[in-house]
């Protein structure tokens, strides 16, 4: 029979599932504006004879009093009948009420009788014990609980009592508000881009992680990229095994910068002093690849002013005895070649084109015909498709970056003659972008008179 009284075992198991849902418990509810909001369990009534529990949550941000909100959640108001707004204590739904719900079918979800209703700033759950005990039903019928306040801003997500989407997002947000941009999730480091300079990567910070001692080593220090790098380094040295660090995230999450600081840590952290003077030629060459790859492979997009438009695999080789860098190999893949000839509104081409136009000296400009009317990015189709103002990036000096790129190319072994060939190739691409074609089927195609001479 549909409404047969539950046996004692069913009641005991259902109450066990509900044991943490006591008065005062806080839970998460989805919200269109804030994604997730908190609400407090104000009343709970169990009807063990019928096998039904009613839970009433009130949103923490509610402006009405709790008593007023609870008074709105009478059974008649819940099930859509003529509102009879009377102040009443909340109780479990009766069998007749449940039968009316079934008859209308409006409260059925996947054939279930249990229902959830929102009335203003309150949330009311009528839960049938037998349905609560179905496999996986507790996650569908009950709201996810909030963690104790003592766990707010915890440095490791795995220490949370409840690990679910709202708990993770809330903890990350609280840490971000405290300017803690790194959080562990076990062996994984979650990084949130601060979109502003932070003083977290200096020599003192490197030394702190490089000289971590005691049980756990760097793992016991505050979450940081350097801790991940140090653990990989120690695993290589102590266990004589290759190590892998995967930097993953969406556009604008900080992958490029993270990889750059990890490389710098490997090259500098275990010197007597973390400075460039003591670094070997190979170590300097590996670090010099960063500005080269950023210039030729990164671009300004709608989501990120320095977005990598390619994938990169970096293999760093260490000397077995002294654990010093002795070599490296970089593989690139999936370069966005179409960006050279087309950029969406507000976006830029690859940085190197703007660096060349801003940083080339007079003699180089004359050689490449990048002077006079062709001295700025607005003169070229391939550097102006983003629209007015798109070529500028706040806080970026393209001329200074061009000097850094040229010096880095020299450091990695690109000769002056080869660099000249690169500049000429880039200038040729820019000029070619100003060539347009016209023609018909009868005359064939020809260079349009409006093209650059």
Whether residue 95 has pLDDT greater than 60:
no
Confidence band, pLDDT 50/70/90 cuts, at residue 321:
confident
Measured CA to CA in angstroms, residue 293 lies from 259, 261, 330 at distances of 12, 14, 10
Question: Which one is predicted more confidently, 208 or 99?
Answer: 208
153 versus 75: the higher-pLDDT residue is 153
Q: What does the pLDDT average to over 311-319?
A: 91
Please say whether the dihedral angle defined by the alpha carbons of residues 111, 112, 115 and 116, taken in this order, is positive or negative.
negative
* Distant-in-sequence, close-in-space partners of 281: CB < 8 Å, separation ≥ 6: none
Average of per-residue pLDDT values in the chain: 86
Contact present, 105 and 111 (Cβ < 8 Å):
no
Q: Looking at 352-443, which runs of residues are DSSP E strands?
A: 437-440
The answer to whether the predicted template modeling score (pTM) of the entire model surpasses 0.85 is no
- Does pLDDT of 109 surpass 90? no
Has residue 3 got a pLDDT over 90? no
Q: What is the mean pLDDT of residues 354-360?
A: 97
- Sequence-distant (≥ 6) Cβ neighbours of residue 211 within 8 angstroms: none
Does residue 111 surpass a pLDDT of 70?
Answer: no
Q: Is 40 helix (H, G, I), strand (E, B) or coil?
A: strand
SS3 of residue 255 by DSSP = helix
β-bridge partners, 445: 439
CB 331 within 8 Å of CB 313:
yes
Is the C-alpha dihedral spanning 94, 95, 101, 107 positive or negative?
Answer: positive
**Cα dihedral across residues 403, 408, 411, 413: positive or negative:** negative
**pLDDT the model gives residue 216:** 52
Q: What is the pLDDT of residue 96?
A: 61
Average pLDDT over residues 67-85: 45
Distance CA 324, CA 233 (A): 11
Whether residue 360 has pLDDT greater than 90: yes
């Amino acid at each position: 029979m549909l409404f047969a009284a539950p046996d004692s075992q069913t009641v005991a198991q259902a109450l066990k599932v509900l044991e943490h849902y006591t008065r005062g418990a806080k839970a998460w509810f989805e919200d269109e504006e804030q994604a997730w909001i908190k609400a407090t369990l104000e009343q709970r009534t169990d009807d063990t004879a019928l096998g039904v529990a009613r839970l009433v949550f009130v949103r923490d941000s509610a402006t009405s009093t709790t008593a007023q909100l609870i008074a709105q959640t009478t059974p008649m108001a819940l099930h859509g009948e003529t509102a009879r707004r009377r102040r009443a204590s909340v109780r479990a739904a009766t069998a007749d009420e449940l039968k009316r719900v079934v008859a209308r079918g409006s409260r059925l979800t996947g054939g279930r009788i249990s229902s959830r209703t929102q009335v203003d700033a309150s949330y009311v759950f009528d839960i049938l014990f037998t349905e609560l005990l179905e496999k996986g039903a507790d996650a569908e019928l009950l709201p996810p609980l909030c963690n104790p306040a003592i766990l707010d801003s915890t440095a490791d997500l795995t220490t949370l009592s409840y690990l679910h989407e709202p708990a993770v997002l809330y903890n990350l947000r609280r840490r971000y508000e405290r300017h803690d941009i790194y959080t562990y999730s076990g062996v994984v480091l979650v990084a949130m881009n601060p979109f502003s300079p932070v003083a977290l990567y200096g020599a003192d910070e490197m030394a702190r992680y490089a000289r971590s001692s005691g049980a756990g080593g760097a793992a016991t220090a505050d979450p940081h990229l350097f801790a991940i790098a140090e653990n990989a380094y120690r695993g290589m040295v102590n266990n004589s095994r290759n190590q892998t660090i995967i930097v993953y995230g969406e556009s604008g999450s900080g992958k490029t910068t993270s990889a750059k600081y990890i490389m710098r840590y490997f090259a500098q952290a275990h010197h007597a002093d973390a400075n460039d003077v003591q670094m070997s030629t190979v170590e300097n060459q590996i670090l010099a690849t960063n500005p080269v790859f950023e210039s030729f492979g990164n671009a300004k997009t709608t989501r990120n002013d320095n977005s990598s438009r390619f994938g990169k695999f970096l293999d760093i080789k260490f000397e077995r005895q002294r654990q010093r860098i002795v070599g490296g190999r970089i593989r690139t893949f999936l370069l966005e070649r179409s960006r050279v000839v087309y950029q969406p509104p507000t976006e830029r081409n690859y940085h190197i084109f703007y660096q060349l136009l801003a940083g080339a000296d007079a003699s180089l400009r004359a050689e490449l015909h990048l002077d006079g009317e062709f001295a700025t990015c607005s003169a070229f189709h391939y550097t102006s498709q983003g629209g007015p103002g798109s070529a500028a990036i706040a806080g970026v000096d393209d001329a200074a970056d061009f000097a850094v790129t040229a010096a880095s190319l020299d450091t990695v072994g690109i000769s002056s003659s080869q660099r000249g060939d690169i500049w000429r190739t880039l200038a040729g691409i820019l000029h070619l972008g100003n060539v347009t074609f016209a023609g018909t089927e009868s005359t064939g195609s020809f260079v349009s008179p409006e093209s650059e001479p």
